[in-house]
């Protein structure tokens, strides 16, 4: 009976290995760190100032922070956040989380995030809409991370909007 159980265990172990499953002894590579399953994530907020093409602060400009399905705003339960500028033209988004603020192409050191961006829109249509990709924003880490959590960042996106003609 024991011999049969041993044979079944070895066969199952072989099948699981072929399928890509491996045991987890609590460390990676025999002691480098904890064995973790999940997805890396980063918390972030976007802030900035919106001005006219002559430098005057613009109030009540709609600022939409949006991305892909990897982005999430817990307070809103959505993948986008919309805020409005104050009388000084300043805005600050809710805290969001995302799998990565940047992703590297396998064949290049260039970072790309074409779907993560901030859209600036004047609902009164006095100024032209514009946008900025996350990749073009300055990033400041304000909280260190560990494990799958890579910390919290503040992204800065100032924008100058041109007047419609």
List the chain domain ranges. Answer: 1-37, 41-161
pLDDT tens-place values along the chain, 165 residues long? 777 777 878 787 777 676 665 554 444 444 455 555 667 788 889 999 999 999 999 999 999 998 766 677 776 777 788 999 999 999 999 888 877 665 444 443 334 345 688 999 999 999 999 999 888 888 999 999 888 888 899 999 999 999 998
Residue 7 is predicted with a pLDDT of 83
**CA separation for the pair 94, 76 (Å, rounded):** 9
pTM equals 0.69
**CA separation for the pair 44, 139 (Å, rounded):** 9
Residue 22 is predicted with a pLDDT of 53
Homologous superfamily assigned to 41-161? Aromatic compound dioxygenase (2.60.130.10)
Closest to 139 in 3D by CA, of 131, 150, 147 = 150
**CA separation for the pair 82, 63 (Å, rounded):** 6
């Amino acid at each position: 009976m024991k011999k049969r159980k041993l044979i079944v265990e070895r066969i199952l172990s072989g099948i699981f290995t072929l399928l890509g499953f491996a045991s987890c002894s609590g460390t990676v590579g025999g002691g480098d760190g904890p064995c973790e399953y999940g997805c890396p994530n980063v918390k972030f907020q976007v802030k900035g100032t919106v001005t006219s093409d002559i430098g005057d602060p613009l109030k009540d400009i709609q600022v939409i922070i949006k991305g892909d399905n990897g982005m999430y705003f817990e307070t809103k339960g959505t993948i986008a956040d919309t805020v409005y500028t104050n009388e000084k033209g300043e805005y600050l988004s809710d805290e969001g989380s995302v799998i990565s603020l940047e992703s590297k192409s396998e064949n290049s050191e260039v970072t790309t995030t074409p779907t993560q961006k901030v859209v600036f829109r004047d609902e009164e249509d006095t100024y032209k809409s514009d946008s900025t990709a996350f990749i073009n924003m300055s990033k400041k880490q304000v909280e260190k991370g560990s494990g799958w959590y890579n910390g919290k960042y503040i992204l800065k996106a100032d924008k100058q909007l041109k007047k419609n003609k």
